[in-house]
Structures are given as C-alpha cells and as structure tokens.
Structure 1
Amino acid sequence: MTLTLTVHRGTREIGGSCIEVAHPSGARLVLDVGRPLEAERGARNLLPRTLDLTRPATVILSHSHQDHWGLLEEVPSDWPVWASADTAELMAVVPDLLGTPASRGLRTWPRRGAPRRSGRSA
C-alpha cells in the first residue's frame, strides 16, 4: 500500500498550511486548511487550486491558529472536520475577538488524560 502525500501549501512560507494524505482507495485526509498570513482580511477563494474540492475528504486541524484553519469555511460542507477538544474550544472564541462568522461544527476527540471508556461495565 502506498499513500500519496501532497503539500498544497506551506513549504515556502509560514502560514496557510494545507497537506493531503491520499490512500489508493480514494480516501483522503486533509491536514489543515490554513489562511495564508499575507492574505487580506475578507479575501475569499484562497484554498490552493491543487486541492480537489470535488472529491470527498476528511479534514483534521492540527491546532487553533488561523494559519491552520482559517479557510475552513471554503471547504465543502459535507467534509467532516475533526479537531481536539482544546482546539475547538479556542476556535469558538475567534468570532468574539475578530468579528468573523462562527466556524462550522467540529467533531472532536477527548482531551489528553481524559478517562476513556473501556466498554466494560463494572
């Protein structure tokens, strides 16, 4: 099995991170959909043109800086988006701070050290 790794943006600048990992079956993970630091406020259609938006993918956000999730609203709405609970919590305050619209819903995994259910009853 060979995975394909494509760095759509982020190798020649700081910010705007967007990396794709594709499986031969067609399944894809997109790691970050960051807003480039040099992008003007309010600018749209900034996702890298090399990122195929016509094929399904799952987005995983590495952390709460906008240069890693700032283009989330441009990703197709049927793509699931995952982030840690801490990242989601920090992202939730951005609209209050910057006056930008609230980001779409995120799926989260538990914080580190959170008790895990074993599936067994005591």
Structure 2
Amino acid sequence: MSDELEAHLDRAFLALADPTRRAIVARLSRGEATVNELAEPFEMSKQAVSKHIQVLELAGLVTRTRDAQRRPVHLDAVALERLTEWIDRYRLIHERQFRSLDRLLAGHDTDRPRADHDTREEEK
C-alpha cells in the first residue's frame, strides 16, 4: 500500500472516529446541506460544527461548493467507496477463513460417533 493511500486512510478513519462527524456523514448521505442545517441537531456552536466539517474535508470525505450565498457541503461518495473497498478486502479474507473452518469442523462432526447412539448401544 502506498504511503499516500495509507495517509488518506489514516485521516479518513481518524475523522470518522468522532460520533459528531459520523452523524454529519450520515446526514450528508441523504443529500447536501449547509453548515446551519448540519448544526441543527447538535448542541454546539456553528463554529464547532464548521471545525468538524473541516476535519472531514481535510480527510477527503466531504467537499464544499458555492451556490450564490449558500456553501453546501457534499459527501464524497468515491472517498467512502475507497474506505469500503479497503474494509471489504479484509472482511472477505476472514470470511474465507471462517468458511474453511466451518467445513473442517463439519467434517469432524460426521467422523465422530454420536454420543446418544453409543449410549443406546451400551444399554442393550
């Protein structure tokens, strides 16, 4: 993995470690919003929300555009997709390992005599 990609992942996961920023990302997944709109559900100043947005922006997870007087914030779906791809790579590795373990354990269950069968044979 390149140093640049690793630095991007570090910034993105660090940004998403904060519950307020995760809530902002969740809200932006439904569509663009202004800082005022993003600040509504939080009991913090608009300046504090702006700082959270700035962290998300530096992590490459959101962008801001200018629309006349509005400066809407947009979720960068491509950046989230890169994070998902990185997570999926490791999830798939572990799923394959668990499936192999399941097959191995299932094979051992059929090789082993059943305890209830042995008990009934002994009782006869």
Name which structure has the greater RCO, CA cutoff 8 Å, separation 6+: 2
The structure number with the bigger radius of gyration is: 2
TM-score, normalised relative to structure 2: 0.23
TM-score, L = length of structure 1: 0.23
Point out the structure with the larger helix share.
2
Greater fraction strand = 1
